Structure 1
Amino acid sequence: MNLLSVMSIRFLSQRWVLWLLFWSNLLGTIYGYYWYKNQLIYTWEHHPAWQLIFVPDSPTASLFFTISIGFLLFRPQPRTLFGMIAKRIIEALGVVTSIKYGIWACVMIVAGAYLGSPMGWQDWMLIGSHLAMAVEGLLFVRLFAFGSAALTLASCWTWLNDTVDYSAAVYPWLPYTLVNELTAVCIFTFTWTGISVAMTWLAMRYRDQRTNITKEAMF
């Protein structure tokens, strides 16, 4: 089995692959929320409650992707327009945020280490798992059916998340060596969101040119 066959739609759409990704992402999501436990408690005690939703960035990204994989496994048929729109937005969020936070976390860990933060086994584990998030997000665009409207809404939510993170200081806790580089981190974060959206759009365009998904089926 070569790399191209592993990346093919035929391989990725096999149920055992979908189940493997579903459970690995679900467990990763649960672990991710646990990882954010202390920051969630701190936010609850020192910030307005509405800001809690903006704290656990990566786990929420993997949650969106897990739900999207669930759509492929169980193939629910939305009975209302609202249900269809919600499904498409979740798919778009699953892709955009997986790419965004998958790479963002790796960059923060490596940048922190470059400036002097020690790297332990957990850092390497986080790099591996977050790289996997970004890769699976790009690969699965071809199996999802979201369109430009859903991608636009997902982009707005992701930039809103960035805005709240850095205006209300609820961004993910950084390696201590990056604390004094917050402006650079903020600029990189907003820029990388734009790049993640562009990558998703390009992958979506590639999908549309090579599949039979009609414009009527998209949002």
Structure 2
Amino acid sequence: MFILFASPPEKDLEWSDQGVEGCYRFINRVWRIVNEFSCAIKEGAGIDTSVFTKEDKELWYMLNNTLKRVTDDISLRFNFNTAISAIMELVNSLYYYKDKVADDSKNKALIKDSVEKLIIMLAPFIPHAAEELWSVVGKESSVHEQKWPSFDPAALIRDEIEIVLQINGKVRDKIVIPSDLTKEQVEERALESEKIKAEISGKNVVKVISVPGKLVNIVVK
């Protein structure tokens, strides 16, 4: 895994014992989260997105976004390092979900789907460990015989997004807004932020620069 993660295939690889240790720690993190979710995985049934909570939606988005990124990186670009990086982000999201959501509120079907697809995505990179993890979640067949999972395009459309608010290029606040707001509406929300109001009080707003889906930068004098 380290060799695939450390460098794109067209570039030279510089060996690093620390890098190997980092990949070892990551595999252990995967092992722990799969084992911690093993009961939920075995009890989970079909996914019903209509009952998703805010945290469920975020994990569902991360799962499908990761599937898209990993599929494209492997099949189109052969960028194995960025594919592994995307999987690492998904593992972080699973840990966040575990810590954030109470046990009796966790969506077992979502956990089952997320972990099973995680293991399948890991199989090309850590084949032996993935095979063991596949058996941990109660599977009798080989993970390498499974069909590569597809992503749900609808899951990539977020209801809400986080926007960074800057003043003269420096971050001053972050807000969560509906994803379907117009550019003008986003800028209005930015100027309504209490932190932004306090920062620009008594100053002249020269212009407002928006980067859709990412940030609003307010230039003042």
Report if TM-score (shorter chain) is over 0.5. Answer: no
By relative contact order (CA 8 Å, sep 6+), the higher-ranking structure is 1
**TM-score, normalised relative to structure 1:** 0.27
More helix by share: 1
More strand by share: 2
**TM-score, normalised relative to structure 2:** 0.26
